[in-house]
């Protein structure tokens, strides 16, 4: 395992949690292993592991980008990760307010719906 892959796996676990990463790792096959290594090295070992901005800020940026792109499954996963990154529900709402202005009200509206459902599942009652 390369140093960047190890660093990426540590960051991935810190943000997403061991249970999520363990499930993803168990689901890997020979078909998608190269892709999983690519995103673990690049996204987690390079971008997320950078100390240029705090994980909380990176989390908010990620949520806004996922909402703007309509990546709903990934959005819920990263909302769950806010318990590890420190982004508050109020800050997440504000990120989606930005999405409404810069990427469209329908995307922000759906993101807020997913956030409410995900927080509820997490036991966070808004």
Please tell me the predicted confidence (pLDDT) of residue 47.
97
Residue 45 has pLDDT above 90, yes or no: yes
CB burial of 18-56 (b: ≥16 within 10 Å; e: otherwise) equals: eeebeeeeeeeeeeeeeebbeebbeebbeebbeeeeebe
Residue range of the domain that includes 72:
53-126
Among residues 14, 32, 40, 118, the alpha carbon closest in space to that of 75 is found at 118
Please answer whether residues 122 and 113 qualify as being in contact, where contact means their C-beta atoms are separated by less than 8 angstroms.
no
One domain for residues 45 and 75 = no
One domain for residues 46 and 58 = no
Q: What is the average pLDDT score of the chain? A: 97
One domain for residues 112 and 63 = yes
Q: How many CB atoms lie within 10 A of CB 111?
A: 28
pTM of the shown model: 0.94
- Reading the block at residue 45, the tokens are 């070992």
Task: Count how many domains the chain has.
Answer: 2
Please tell me the predicted confidence (pLDDT) of residue 15.
98
């Amino acid at each position: 395992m390369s140093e960047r892959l190890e660093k990426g796996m540590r960051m991935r676990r810190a943000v997403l949690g061991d249970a999520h990463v363990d499930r993803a790792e168990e689901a890997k096959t020979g078909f998608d292993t190269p892709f999983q290594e690519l995103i673990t090295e690049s996204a987690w070992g390079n971008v997320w592991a950078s100390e240029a901005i705090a994980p909380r800020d990176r989390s908010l940026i990620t949520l806004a980008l996922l909402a703007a792109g309509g990546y709903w499954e990934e959005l819920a996963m990263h909302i769950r990760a806010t318990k590890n990154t420190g982004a508050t529900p109020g800050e997440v709402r504000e990120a989606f307010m930005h999405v409404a202005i810069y990427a469209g009200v329908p995307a922000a509206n759906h993101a807020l719906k997913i956030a409410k459902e995900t927080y509820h599942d997490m036991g966070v009652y808004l």
